[in-house]
Structure 1
């Protein structure tokens, strides 16, 4: 199973130190959501993530979107 804490710590170690705390929190929220998505979909390791996994994750979110009229 994916070790969420490991990947969150990697982000925290390497993120741009000039980012505001609110930006970091927002990015961490998305990272956690994606890792949860991977766990639910039985992706054992991030090396097994495919492009379709990222696409399906993004499509599964109810984020505001602008549509072409």
Structure 2
């Protein structure tokens, strides 16, 4: 194998490895973002939630 061909093969392999590393970093970052969105969407809120039945009962007691 000629030296120039070997250098070309090594350069291509380095480019492929770099592309795979970039994809891995992107996917890792994207997964963290999605985890954050999921936590915000489905996570526990600090605010109290009032059930509709309780809200109606409170309104009736205030009206009396």
TM-score (structure 2 length as normaliser): 0.36
Indicate the structure with greater helix content: 2
Q: Greater RCO between the two (CA within 8 Å, min separation 6)?
A: 1
**TM score, norm. by length of structure 1:** 0.34
Larger Rg: 2
